[in-house]
Amino acid sequence: MKSFWTLNYGSTLLGVVMSAIAISPVWAVDPAPITYNTRTDWSTPLYNEFDGFHVNDRHDRISGLNGHFVSQWSRSGIRLTVRNFWVTGESLVPRTRYRRRYFYNRRTGHRYSRYIPYTDYQRVQHWSHRDVSPDVIHFRINGEAYEYSGGEVPPDLAAALANAPRGNMTIRLEFQDPESGRRRASYDVEIGAGTVAAWRQVFGEERGSRSEN
């Protein structure tokens, strides 16, 4: 089974790049402070003293990708993490099973059955994963193009997010080679309608009441 990067580019070149990232992170977009299994109200405006108004989002089953991504959206910054899974190998694991066998007792003339153990081998896949954040997030909102590469959300992008059309929104995540600075991968992912609706409160002028996280 091919990895996320192999599916997009037919090679494992970016695996080397991501290894370098794992050793010395150079992300422009900060990693999300949450994980897929964090207990929170997803796609709901929240508030705390550190992040202010924000909304948490998560998605899986991304175009057949063996992975998912999580993100947190606030005026202080957009933080996003992609977790990619891939198969590192396989092994055969022995398992004891039982098969029913029938016998005939010639002395009594009766048939009887017993469960006889036998060894069966099950093929087990071994998985690994890596977390990575994009260098740039690209948006297309109401016919205008926007880019985000870390730090506070610019006023023009905040206004666009606050006035984004209702419904799901596709964004493009761009990853770069930390050595050459050239683009190595881009991937389109979808933000759900609930999170898009929450942007109106998170990035808009009318904040409403606080929901404690």
Beta pairing partners, 123: 92
Q: Residue 194 has what pLDDT?
A: 95
Say if residue 163's pLDDT is above 50: yes
Amino acid at 17: V
User: Under 8 Å CB-to-CB from 197, ≥6 apart: which residues?
Assistant: 43, 166
Spatial separation of the C-alpha atoms in residues 29 and 73, rounded to whole Å: 12
User: Under 8 Å CB-to-CB from 55, ≥6 apart: which residues?
Assistant: 43, 44, 45, 46, 72, 73, 74, 195, 198, 199, 202
Inter-CA distances, 182 with 154, 178, 186, Å: 24, 8, 12
Task: Taking residues 121-143, report their average pLDDT.
Answer: 88
Task: Taking residues 92-111, report their average pLDDT.
Answer: 87
Amino acid at 174: E
Q: Residue 211 has what pLDDT?
A: 47
Query: pTM for this one?
Result: 0.68
